[in-house]
Structure 1
Amino acid sequence: MARHRWLLWVLCLLTACTVHATDPAHEGRGRITFVDSQDLSSGRVIKQRVDEWNQRASRREQVTYVPMPRSTDAYRAQLMARAQDLAGARDDVRSQCYDVMTLDVVWTTEFAESRYLVPLSRGEFGTDRFLPAAVESASTTDGRLWAVPWRADVGVLYYRSDVLTAERADPPSTWQALEGMATAFGPEYGLAGYVGQLGQYEGLTVNALEAVWAHGGDATGLGTPQAKAGVGMLAEGLRKGWIPQAVLSYDETASLREFLEGRALFMRNWPYARSVLEASPLKGKFGMAALPGHGALGGWNLAVSRCSAHQATARDFIRFLAGDDSQRVLLEQAGYPPTLRPLYLEPDLNSRLPHLAVLRVAVEKARNRPHAVHYDKVTRMMQGALHNCLRNPEARDAEMDQLSWNVAKALSGR
């Protein structure tokens, strides 16, 4: 009888172990769904990385890649709708969950505070190897980490190197120097001085903040003399003409077209524009430099959805995508700036990608836009007021005083 009881005990133990090892839900492992904005890179490098994971991973931990709408607003709306639908959902409908989400850097606070994400461990993901500003973008103001930095982006300055070389001038390191060159060289060569993104959309928020930061101001104090000076510099540029009035309606595509077609001396844009220019008649006639002051940090981070039943697999997949090998592939094949600092220092990469040194300077100086639960509300507020300041400079002081109060109220949750 004792031997019989012993055999039953062993059988139960083995059965329990078997169930534990093959139950993906219990282990937090299983198939997951990964969502990202549409992959427009040459060769569809994002899909390549997912395929690489699926070749390496077991059949039970395969990843389904779901590309989302190209429009950032439409993408965010779809993510929010799915997260809201599955908040508190039963286990039997969790298969509809977007387990790993690629989030714009300005969405972190909103998704975290809405309880759509799970917090992550800084030690598990080695955040000390990432760009500090990128880690900040993936965290809330209390220091908790909610995402892992993946693809960085930063505002940079493009210039006509043929003109600056002819004039024996270095790329400007201050806005004052940029204005001087735009005013002196632009008319001589039949070029507009400077084009950026001052249309009433997110680009205006970014361009204005970069000007504000360059003058010592910040988004949390838009009524200060420094912030007003930054916006005033743009308004004066429009009035004096070294920034064409047409720029008040420009987005990235419009400003790139103006520079690409040889009508502008300087252009503020994102790193993606470099590959477009390299494939154009301007190849060999342009250069890229860090913006005077600080560029705005853009980019995308990787987060685990709270609704995911397979969070262990989701975390492993994020480590794979955000790791050295994947970020190196994204840089070399698609031009995505890394969020990992060591990659900017690799001699081999720097020898093959001379612009990497410029990107390193730009990303190390980059700053984040405000952390806000309702960032879309804050930025729309800023866009309306800032556009009015540029069109009607006499209203600048009153407009920015009111904007400062409105932004402070929104950021405090009032």
Structure 2
Amino acid sequence: MTGWDRRGSRRARAAVALGCLLALASAACTGPEGTPPPADGGRAAEGPIVVASGLDVTGSGSVRQQLVEEWNRQHAGSPAKQAKLVELPGGADQQRSQLLGALQSGSARYDVVNLDITWIPEFAEAGLISPMPVDGTGTGTGTGSGSGSASEDDIDFIREVHATTVWKGRSYARPFNTDVGLLYYRPDLMAKADMKADKQPTAKWTWDHLYSSVKTLGVNPARPGDLAGWTTQLKDYEGLTVNTIEAFASVGVELTDGEGHYVSDAGELKKGLDELFDRVEDGRVPPGASTSDETASLTDFAEGRAVFLRHWPYAYKALGHLMEPDEYSVNRLPGKSVLGGQNLAVTADSPRAADARALITFLTSEKSESCLLDAGFAATRASSYTSTPAPCWPRVAAALRPAGDSPKAAGTGAPGEGAPKEQGAAAREAYIRTLGAVLGEAVQRPRTPYYGAFTQLLQSRVHGLLAAGRPDTAEAAATLDDALRDVFAGR
């Protein structure tokens, strides 16, 4: 696996009869299957604290890397506390497979893993990550965990976001950066259609309002490049799962309870599928929407091929590089929005568990969360969305300044050449308020240790239905119901 740090062995076991094969003068040796991991300090804690994470999607100068470097500066006198970020290539599904393989086999030495929120039950159930201790120091289970006491620091995490760290009553991680669906729109294209201000999105907008606006715009895309009413991510990947769950949740369809047991039925699934197909019927989305991911849908929106866009918070900052400030705006997504994001967990056999937890506490601190929000991620703390959030670490903030964004000339308010054309302070404040409110009301995808199998099933079934046009949703729901019963039972 590219980028793995192979220095040091995962387990040192005198009982390993056959020893380990060496590769490039470095080996990863594992003990007999089922052997319990050593306690913290049970083997030599050599080298840095290694953090495994997916790629930074914000294009912000890698705020995660900058935060790790800030930790290293603050611990410059302690070589054992230095940290190293390893970024895993590929999409979410590939990263999950790489991490599972690495932690199960011991082929990579990671102390901290940055996990997609949907992976927490699977990694916890498999014993690959350690529960966070309940000690009142900010590393306890936190609010909504179902057990233990919450420190004041834990309580600052947005309740729904913190709940993504919990499995079977215990917290296994801390929220690092979160995500949630938002609605972006093109006021310039709406103005060309003489749409009044009261037609623009408000906090009470519904999908019927959006459909009405699409009708007023008079769009009916038939060919690639035609103007569409809205666009989203309908490719056969995790984005399609998210869009499907948002449609299901908007009409009250839940697939599982808090412990991953299937609670739906064919009738409920039909209701959810009908809602999804209402959203993406012909004449509303681009002809190529079924192959669209985050990048393609953002490009269609920025280049004027769609008036409305469902996307994640990082798109707000990205649009500053692609569009004029008055060409886009953002508000709540009609209906329910699904949570995304990543949580930081300590691997079960890390010999540096105490230092790893201290690093996680730093990376999820108020100042660090402010840095993540400034870079384009959604912060996980409620205090980040107040009028007086903690400032980002100064050296991190300086490192994240876009190339060419020199200090503004006195009285001009103009950024240096090369800086993105971001919206003004009032628009950004409105965006931050909206983001904070939506996060507090967002819903989770199914909580299950079988999430990988679930999402692959849902993606393939729904994508096939999209290709068929408007299918018989009653028949589709019945077959999907049978398949979901099996997948959530681990069959």
- Which TM-score bucket, shorter chain as reference? 0.7 to 0.9
- What TM-score do the two structures reach when normalised by structure 2? 0.72
Name which of 96, 99, 108 aligns with 1:76: 96
Partner of 2:23: none
Name which of 160, 166, 178 aligns with 1:139: 166
Partner of 2:106: 86
Q: Is it true that 1:128 corresponds to 2:141 in the alignment?
A: no
CA distance in 1 between partners of 2:265 and 2:324 (Å): 41
Q: Is it true that 1:372 corresponds to 2:448 in the alignment?
A: yes
The structure with the largest helix share of the pair is 1
Contact 1:29/1:312, CA 8 A, preserved across alignment: no
Name which of 174, 191, 200 aligns with 1:170: 200
Q: Is it true that 1:160 corresponds to 2:190 in the alignment?
A: no
- The percentage of counterpart residues that share the same residue type is 33
Q: Highest CA radius of gyration, 1 or 2?
A: 1
Number of equivalent positions: 381
CA distance in 2 between partners of 1:389 and 1:410 (Å): 19
3-state SS of 1:372 partner? coil
| 1:405 positional shift | 3.0
Name which of 261, 281, 285 aligns with 1:243: 285
Q: Is it true that 1:263 corresponds to 2:305 in the alignment?
A: yes
3-state SS of 1:355 partner? helix
Partner of 1:118: 130
Distance change in 2, residues 1:343/1:112 (3 Å): same
3-state SS of 2:335 partner? coil
| 1:39 positional shift | 3.4
| 1:287 positional shift | 1.0
Partner of 1:148: 174
Q: Is it true that 1:273 corresponds to 2:315 in the alignment?
A: yes
Contact 1:103/1:302, CA 8 A, preserved across alignment: yes
Partner of 1:211: 247
Partner AA of 1:207 in structure 2 = N
Contact 1:235/1:389, CA 8 A, preserved across alignment: no
Query: What CA deviation, in whole Å up to 9, does each residue of 1:298-347 have, x standing for no partner?
Result: 11100000110111101100000001011111111x11111111111134
Name which of 389, 394, 401 aligns with 2:471: 394
3-state SS of 1:265 partner? strand
Unaligned runs of 5+ in 1: 1-23, 88-95
Partner AA of 1:50 in structure 2 = V
Please say which of residues 351-360 and 260-269 is displaced more in the overlay: 351-360
CA distance in 2 between partners of 1:244 and 1:218 (Å): 29
Name which of 110, 126, 129 aligns with 1:98: 110
Please say which of residues 174-183 and 39-48 is displaced more in the overlay: 39-48
Partner of 1:91: none
CA distance in 2 between partners of 1:83 and 1:315 (Å): 18
Partner of 1:63: 83
CA distance in 2 between partners of 1:305 and 1:377 (Å): 23
CA distance in 1 between partners of 2:44 and 2:373 (Å): 31
| 1:372 positional shift | 1.8
Q: Is it true that 1:254 corresponds to 2:296 in the alignment?
A: yes
CA distance in 2 between partners of 1:249 and 1:110 (Å): 29
Contact 1:212/1:228, CA 8 A, preserved across alignment: no
Please say which of residues 368-377 and 185-194 is displaced more in the overlay: 185-194
| 1:224 positional shift | 5.3
Distance change in 2, residues 1:130/1:137 (3 Å): same
Unaligned runs of 5+ in 2: 1-39, 140-152, 257-262, 392-424
- What TM-score do the two structures reach when normalised by structure 1? 0.85
3-state SS of 2:299 partner? helix
| 1:226 positional shift | 5.1
3-state SS of 1:303 partner? strand
Name which of 23, 30, 35 aligns with 2:52: 35
3-state SS of 1:405 partner? helix
CA distance in 2 between partners of 1:213 and 1:101 (Å): 29
Distance change in 2, residues 1:157/1:293 (3 Å): same
3-state SS of 2:288 partner? helix
Partner AA of 1:25 in structure 2 = G
CA distance in 1 between partners of 2:485 and 2:324 (Å): 44
**Matches for 1:313-324 after TM superposition, within 5 Å:** 313-324=355-366
Name which of 211, 228, 251 aligns with 2:270: 228
| 1:37 positional shift | 1.6
Query: What CA deviation, in whole Å up to 9, does each residue of 1:67-105 have, x standing for no partner?
Result: 221432332222112211239xxxxxxxx5200110011
Partner of 1:5: none
Partner of 2:438: 362
Partner AA of 2:69 in structure 1 = D
CA distance in 1 between partners of 2:368 and 2:354 (Å): 19
| 1:114 positional shift | 0.8
Partner of 2:384: 343
Contact 2:43/2:351, CA 8 A, preserved across alignment: no
Contact 2:267/2:474, CA 8 A, preserved across alignment: no
CA distance in 1 between partners of 2:131 and 2:332 (Å): 33
Contact 2:220/2:228, CA 8 A, preserved across alignment: no
